[in-house]
């Protein structure tokens, strides 16, 4: 998907060169400073994976710069193109409304810049990327190596039915990958809560229930999930995905598809 920000201001040299268009990573944002640092770590890892391509983080809320400001900065620096990667795990309101609005706002003033917006990191259509599942499994192994009887996929939560359906697909595929029953839980906006999901699995005979964190970064939601899961009897709670190498490759996969 390509969205042009700005109007034609005439020719100018493009410092990015072929294949060197800067990447703008756009995260949700949080009041918790750990979240911003995790996104910066992901941006560093994405940059290190393909040296020579500028990679900038931005946030929709709470942390600066926002995507509009970042795009205007890239345009002012002489870049005529950029690729915007939504660091989102579902294609809900932020992808459908907030990000297009940010690109449109950049279009309204400043030098021109053509913006290609990639798919989110979560499922595209009915397809769950293997890298996303591998990253979730990696974090589970780091939390508690060994076999589990069941897994709960804990997500932030959304009122968007299609977004919840995509989280459900991830849970099902994760369960198949791990060879265990898998259920969904949400930290807000939708039931069940993680404690209820863990308790339900334990009530059905599972003794080693692990919680996979469908979060990009640490913060209050993940903290609350960890506490509630442990209180309900979970033996492990995975860390957020942050800069897992499989997630880094998934970012580049999204970029490569969008460029094609």
Same domain, 101 and 10: yes
CA 23 – CA 121 distance, rounded (Å)? 15
Same domain, 109 and 149: no
pTM, two decimal places: 0.88
Same domain, 44 and 141: no
Total domains in the chain come to 2
Same domain, 62 and 95: yes
What does 41-74 look like in DSSP terms, one character per residue?
HHHHHHHHHSTTS-EEEEESSSSSPPHHHHHHHH
Same domain, 227 and 141: yes
Same domain, 15 and 85: yes
Same domain, 174 and 61: no
**Residue range 7-14: mean pLDDT, rounded:** 34
Same domain, 92 and 136: no
Question: Between 67-76 and 99-107, two packed helices, what is the crossing angle to 10 degrees?
Answer: 40
Structure confidence by residue, pLDDT tens digits, 227-245: 999 999 999 999 999 999 9
pLDDT score for 229: 97
The single-letter DSSP state of residue 239 is: P
Domain that holds residue 24: 2-123+244-259
CA 137 – CA 40 distance, rounded (Å)? 22
Same domain, 68 and 12: yes
| CATH, residue 203 | 3.40.50.1400
Structure confidence by residue, pLDDT tens digits, 176-233: 999 999 999 999 988 999 999 999 999 999 999 999 999 999 999 999 999 999 999 9
Same domain, 34 and 107: yes
> Up-side HSE of residue 215: CA atoms within 13 Å toward CB?
31
CA 184 – CA 171 distance, rounded (Å)? 6
């Amino acid at each position: 998907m390509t969205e042009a920000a700005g109007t034609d201001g005439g020719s100018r040299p493009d410092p990015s060169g072929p294949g060197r268009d800067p990447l703008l990573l756009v995260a949700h944002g949080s009041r918790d400073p750990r979240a911003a640092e995790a996104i910066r770590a992901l941006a560093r890892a994405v940059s290190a994976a393909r040296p020579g391509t500028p990679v900038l983080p931005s946030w929709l809320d709470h942390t600066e710069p926002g995507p509009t400001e970042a795009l205007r900065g890239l345009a002012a620096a002489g870049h005529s193109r950029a690729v915007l990667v939504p660091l989102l795990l579902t294609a809900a309101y932020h992808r459908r409304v907030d990000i297009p609005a940010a690109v449109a706002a950049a279009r309204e003033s400043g030098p021109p810049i053509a913006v290609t917006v990639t798919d989110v990191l979560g499922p595209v259509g009915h397809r769950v990327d293997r890298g996303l599942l591998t990253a979730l499994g990696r974090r589970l192994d780091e939390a508690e190596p060994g076999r589990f009887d069941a897994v709960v996929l804990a997500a932030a939560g959304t009122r968007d039915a299609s977004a919840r359906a995509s989280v459900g697909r991830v849970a099902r595929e994760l369960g198949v990958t791990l060879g265990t029953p898998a259920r969904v839980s949400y930290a807000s906006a939708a039931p069940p809560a993680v404690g209820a999901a863990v308790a339900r699995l334990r009530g059905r005979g599972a003794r080693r229930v692990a919680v996979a964190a469908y979060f990009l970064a640490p913060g209050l939601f993940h903290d609350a999930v960890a506490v509630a899961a442990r209180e309900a009897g979970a033996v492990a709670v995975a860390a957020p995905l942050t800069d897992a190498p499989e997630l880094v490759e998934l970012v580049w996969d999204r970029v490569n598809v969008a460029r094609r």
